[in-house]
Amino acid sequence: MQKKLILLLVLSVLAGALQAAELRFAVSYRSASTVYIAGGSADGLAVGERLSVKAKNELVGEIEIQYLSEHSASCRILRESRLIRVGDAGVITRAADHASKTAPEVSVSNTAAKAGPAAAPPASAPSIQAAPVAKPWARTRGSVSFGLSKNWDQTERHYDFEQRFGRLDFAAWEIGGHPLQFTVRGRARQDLRPQTLGFETLLPRDERRDRLYEVGLRYEPRKGRAVIEAGRLGVPTLSIGYLDGVSVELRAMKSLRFGGFFGKRVELDHLAGFTPGNKYGAFARLFNGGSSWPGAFDATLFGVREFAGTTISREYIGLQSRLASKSFLFAEWAEVDLLRDWRKPADGSGAQLSNLSASATYRASPSSSLALSYDQRRNYRSADTRSVPQVLFDTYAHQGFRGSLDLSRPNGPGVSLFGGVRMRDQQSDTAYSGGGGLRHASFTGAHLNVSLDGYYFTNGVNSGLQGSARLGRIRPSVMTDLTFGIASYTLKAGGTRRQNEWFRLSAYKTFGRGLWFRGEGQYDRGDDVKGPRATFEFGYRF
């Protein structure tokens, strides 16, 4: 029944989308690898959507939405012909019916010339009345796509692989004129393997990996004090996975929110040994709504408890925050596990810092940026890992640092440098990596962008070099890339040297009316991988 309802909703939208129009959202901030736009979930955008970036009417790049709030979005940069900057616009194509619903209303009385009273029509003239306009059942947006990916392995293993997939992302809001939003997002995937190299139990020949990420109903009045969401959902404010249940957010003040959630844990990958159980928690969020003094900030403190059956599987508290100004951006994420009962370690400690990441970006000018980041990860005990003997369980902290410098000129050359180190622990040696790249955003003035990249790495197992050369072109309706890459490394145990090369051609084409096509072909040759691979995907975005 649920699948039929979803299909009917999508078909109704596809049938009603007869024309296409552009919606524009201004670029409000730019970091080294992230673009922020002035448009969010309340404007019909969704995580995963791609937008073209234009300077006036010139196409300068493409971005993909990663995180959303009501009226802003954080996007990763997919490509750019020149440095994307504040003042550009993220553009997405919608059905004309959708665009007309989201466009601001213009009052005729404010734009028409002032005039005296209109003359009365002749007495014999019939009265003409405008036909009533049917009010749409809801505002909608979404996308649907189907694709095929295939590898032909020409090594002695002959491990060919085929994948068939489909994606669906649909949302309807202001349903029946009420502050209701319905969202469904999922993926269907089938993996086909002619042979499994003796690992049939782990890698079956025909395997389905379908995922229903989200299907829920959200109640969000514009001036109300509470936002309620029910169904399969990921709590919008937090990255804590998915649950089947209910989430409530209370708007105490303009810049202060409180919330909580309760439901069943969801394991999208259907891992062996996973035991379903309840999951609940609460959070408090403080933010300034994007104000520029002294900077835009957003901080959320949260606590979560998870069960496996009736056993407490994990308890943790966390803090995620973001601080931004015109030239500086800082973001962090931290999780502290509370160790009680059977999770209490032999040393008697009651808490453990399980995850910590922090990054800072400084932009001295629109053409230069410096970024530094640190991350730490420590495995935590849960009911899913309780059976692993303590001597085998990894309790060591894995941590590393990374820095990068980016210098570039609009529509001109650019250079980037980076370096990183992963600290040594009792399971692995210190690992180093470093490299850089050269690029030109508009080579020869023919909308060509070229780049050369290379980096060196070394760790306790191997060391080597990897490099690539890319030539791309961005036009209003098509983007193409041609890449050549090479990798060479030496195994420290025996001194064996191995080398691989690849050629890749990719293209993204829009056809108007929301239709698009993505294709990629690659040929590998070398000691580890040999043979061609290809991916094709057709989609419709409305």
Contact in structure between 381 and 97 (CB atoms under 8 Å): no
Q: Rounded to whole angstroms, how far apart are CA atoms 369 and 365?
A: 7
Comparing 4-13, 68-77, 186-195, the range with the smallest average pLDDT is 4-13
Residue 68 burial class via C-beta count within 10 angstroms: exposed 0-12, middle 13-18, buried 19 and up: buried
Contact 155, 529 (CB under 8 A): yes
d(CA 502, CA 470) in angstroms, rounded, equals 12
More confident of the two residues 33 and 79: 79
What per-residue confidence (pLDDT) applies to 19? Answer: 39
Cβ pair 294, 288 in contact under 8 A: no
- Containing 501, the helix (H) or strand (E) segment is strand 497-512
Predicted local distance difference test score (pLDDT) of residue 138: 86
The model's pTM: 0.72
Give the residue extent of every domain in the chain: 2-102
| pLDDT for res 93 | 64
The rounded distance, in Å, linking the Cα atoms of 355 and 314 is 14
CB 51 within 8 Å of CB 65: yes
CATH fold for domain 2-102: Thrombin, subunit H (2.40.10)
> What does the pLDDT look like over 324-353, one tens digit per residue?
887 888 989 999 999 988 888 877 888 999
What integer best gives the mean pLDDT of the chain? 81
What are the backbone dihedrals phi and psi of residue 327, each rounded to the nearest 5 degrees, phi first?
Answer: -125, 5
Where do the H-state alpha helices sit in 326-405? none
At 501, the pLDDT band (50, 70, 90 cuts) reads: very high
pLDDT, tens digit (0-9, with 9 covering 90-100), for 439-479 = 887 776 667 888 999 999 999 889 999 999 999 887 778 88
DSSP states along 344-363:
--TT---EEEEEEEEEEEEE
pLDDT 10s digits, 527-537? 999 999 999 99
Please state, in angstroms and rounded to a whole number, the distance separating the CA atoms of residues 370 and 401: 14
Contact in structure between 24 and 37 (CB atoms under 8 Å):
no
| Residues in a beta bridge with 250 | 226, 258
Q: What pLDDT, in 10s, does the model give residues 259-305?
A: 999 999 888 776 666 788 999 999 999 988 544 445 678 899 999 99
Query: Which stretches within 391-466 are classed as H helix?
Result: none
